[in-house]
C-alpha cells in the first residue's frame, strides 16, 4: 500500500460532508464551568493524490455551555487558494503567503482565532468556523507563521517565527504585543532551509531547533509535497536567543542528530534551560513519506555556564503531541500530556511516574488541557476519540488529575473526526 493509499484508509481518510448538529447526546456529566468551544484542526485532502500533510484544513468544533453539548460543526477553512489553487512559490522564487491549506493548528491572540500552517500567513476564523480572511498583523507581517506560536503568560506577548525562504534569512523570529502589534522581526542565522516546526520560550530566552531535515531542490523539482529530507552532514543544535536583546548573536548548543516536531515546554533552572519534547532518532531519509521511526519523550538540559547540552530519554513508549497547562508556558512544569496509539498519557516528571487512560481499540488524538484552578495539574483533558466499531467519533472529557478514571463526559458526535493535528479550548 502506498503512503497516499494509507492516508485514505481508516481514520486517516477524509470526510466528505460539512455538517452541523445541535443538542448532542452526552454520556456522563459535562462540568458546568466548561463554557466555550473546543476546536481542532487537521488536513482533510480533497483529492486522492494529495499527501496527508498537504490536505486542506478542516476544523471540527464542539460548543459546550451550561453542562450541555450545544452543537458540533466541521468546516473547511476557505483560504484564498481553496477554490482556485495557486502555488506557494512564484516564478521568481518569491513566496505568495496567501496560498495556504491552514491545516495544522488553531490558536487565539488579540481577540482573534487563527488557523495556522507553517508555510503561509494565518487565516482568521470565527468560533462557528466561518473564515474571516488572511491575517497579517495589519500589514506588518510579510512572512509565514509557525503553527506553534507561544504566548508568554507574564506579558501576553505572542512569540513566533517564520521559515521557508529559498534564500537567507531562512528563519525569522517575530514578536507581537497582546493587542496584535508586531514589534520584533529578527533574522535567525541558520546555514540552510531547515524544516523548523516548533521552538521554545522561557522567561528570558527563546530557543530554536536547527535540525537535519532540510529543503531538497531535487524533491521540490520532482513535485514532492514535502520537499525536505534527512541530511547526515547538517548536524543538530539548539540556539538560545535573549528575549531582552534578540539582535545579539545566538548561543548554539550541539545535540545528537534527531528531529523534533513538537516541544512540550522549556524553563530555566539555576544556570540551565530544561527542554522537554518528543524526539525522532531520524526522519525522512528518502522523502516525506518515511514515518517508520518511533518517537519518544526526551529532555535536553542546556548548561549556560559550560555551553554543553545533556540529553536523556524519559520513556520508551511511542508517543506524540505533547501538551502542558499553557498558562505555565516557559515556567517550571512537571506535567506533560501526550497521545499514544490507544491511550492518553500523563507524565509527572518530578515524581517519575506515568498515568494513562486506555481506550481499548479506540483511538484518541491530541489532548488539550483546560485549567480548573491555578494548580498545574488541576483541570480537564479534551480529545476527539475515534471508535472503529461504529466509524464515529466522540469528544471525551477526562479529569486530568485522575487519568485512570472513567471519562467525566463523552459527547457523541454525528460523524467521524479524522486523525488531525492540534486544537485548543476557547472559553466564553
The pLDDT, as a whole number, for residue 275 is: 98
Strands 295-303 and 423-427 turn out to be unpaired
Looking at residue 48, what is its pLDDT? 76
List beta partners, residue 287. Answer: none
Task: Measure the CA–CA gap between 405 and 421, rounded to whole angstroms.
Answer: 25
**Residue 262 marked as a ligand binder:** yes
pLDDT at residue 3, as a whole number: 53
In this prediction, the residues of the chain whose per-residue pLDDT falls under 70 are: 1-5
60 assigned to a ligand binding site: no
pLDDT, tens digit, for every residue of 240-257? 999 999 999 999 999 999
Q: pLDDT at position 1, please?
A: 38
- The C-alpha cell of 153 is what? 503568560
According to the annotation, is 293 in a ligand binding site?
no
Give the per-residue pLDDT at 4: 58
pLDDT digit string (tens) for 83-141?
998 888 888 888 999 999 999 999 999 999 999 999 999 999 999 999 999 999 999 99
Residues ≥6 apart with Cβ < 8 Å to 294: 280, 318
Residue 159 marked in a binding site? no
Note if the pTM is more than 0.75.
yes
Q: For residue 257, what is its C-alpha cell?
A: 542528530
Instruction: Identify whether the C-beta of residue 380 lies closer than 8 Å to the C-beta of residue 395.
Output: no
CA nearest neighbour of 3 among 216, 265, 391, 292? 292
User: Using one digit for the tens of pLDDT, what is the confidence trace for 368-385?
Assistant: 999 999 999 999 999 999
Question: What is residue 308's predicted lDDT score, i.e. its pLDDT?
Answer: 98
- Measured at the CA of 238, the angle between CA 336 and CA 210, to 5 degrees, comes to 105
Q: What is the pLDDT of residue 293?
A: 82
Q: Give the pLDDT score at 5.
A: 64
Closest of 340, 336, 321, 346 to residue 402, by C-alpha: 346
Amino acid at each position: 500500500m502506498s503512503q497516499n493509499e494509507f492516508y485514505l484508509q481508516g481514520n486517516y481518510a477524509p470526510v466528505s460532508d460539512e455538517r452541523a448538529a445541535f443538542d448532542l447526546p452526552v454520556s456522563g456529566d459535562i462540568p458546568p464551568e466548561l463554557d466555550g468551544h473546543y476546536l481542532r484542526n487537521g488536513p482533510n485532502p480533497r483529492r486522492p493524490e494529495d499527501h496527508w500533510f498537504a490536505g486542506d484544513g478542516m476544523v471540527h468544533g464542539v460548543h459546550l455551555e451550561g453542562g450541555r453539548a450545544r452543537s458540533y460543526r466541521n468546516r473547511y477553512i476557505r483560504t484564498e487558494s481553496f477554490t482556485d489553487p495557486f502555488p506557494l512559490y512564484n516564478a521568481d522564487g518569491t513566496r505568495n503567503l496567501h496560498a495556504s491549506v491552514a491545516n495544522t493548528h488553531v490558536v487565539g491572540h488579540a481577540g482573534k482565532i487563527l488557523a495556522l500552517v507553517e508555510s503561509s500567513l494565518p487565516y482568521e476564523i470565527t468560533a462557528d468556523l466561518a473564515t474571516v480572511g488572511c491575517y497579517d498583523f495589519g500589514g506588518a507581517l510579510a512572512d509565514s507563521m509557525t503553527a506553534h506560536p507561544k504566548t508568554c503568560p507574564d506579558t501576553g506577548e505572542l512569540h513566533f517565527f517564520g521559515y521557508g525562504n529559498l534564500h537567507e534569512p531562512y528563519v525569522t523570529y517575530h514578536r507581537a504585543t497582546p493587542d496584535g502589534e508586531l514589534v520584533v522581526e529578527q533574522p535567525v542565522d541558520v546555514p540552510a532551509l531547515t524544516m523548523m516546526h516548533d521552538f521554545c520560550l522561557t522567561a528570558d530566552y527563546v530557543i530554536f531547533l536547527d535540525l537535519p531535515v532540510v529543503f531538497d531542490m531535487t524533491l521540490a523539482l520532482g513535485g514532492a509535497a514535502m520537499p525536505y529530507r534527512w541530511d547526515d552532514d547538517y548536524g543538530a543544535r539548539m540556539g538560545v536567543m535573549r528575549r531582552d536583546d534578540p539582535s545579539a548573536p545566538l548561543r548554539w548548543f550541539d545535540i545528537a542528530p534527531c528531529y523534533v516536531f513538537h516541544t512540550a515546554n522549556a524553563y530555566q533552572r539555576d544556570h540551565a534551560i530544561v527542554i522537554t519534547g518528543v524526539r525522532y532518532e531520524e526522519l525522512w531519509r528518502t522523502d516525506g513519506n518515511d514515518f517508520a521511526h518511533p518517537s519518544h519523550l526526551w529532555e535536553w538540559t542546556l548548561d549556560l555556564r559550560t555551553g554543553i547540552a545533556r540529553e536523556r530519554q524519559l520513556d520508551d513508549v511511542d508517543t506524540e503531541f505533547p501538551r502542558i497547562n499553557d498558562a505555565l508556558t516557559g515556567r517550571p512544569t512537571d506535567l506533560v500530556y501526550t497521545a499514544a496509539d490507544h491511550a492518553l498519557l500523563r507524565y509527572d516528571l518530578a515524581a517519575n511516574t506515568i498515568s494513562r487512560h486506555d481506550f481499548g481499540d479506540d483511538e484518541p488524538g491530541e489532548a488539550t488541557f483546560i485549567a480548573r484552578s491555578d494548580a498545574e495539574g488541576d483541570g480537564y483533558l479534551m480529545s476527539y476519540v475515534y471508535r472503529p466499531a461504529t466509524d464515529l467519533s466522540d469528544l471525551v472529557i477526562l479529569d486530568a488529575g485522575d487519568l485512570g478514571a472513567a471519562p467525566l463526559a463523552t459527547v457523541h458526535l454525528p460523524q467521524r473526526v479524522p486523525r488531525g493535528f492540534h486544537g485548543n479550548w476557547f472559553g466564553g
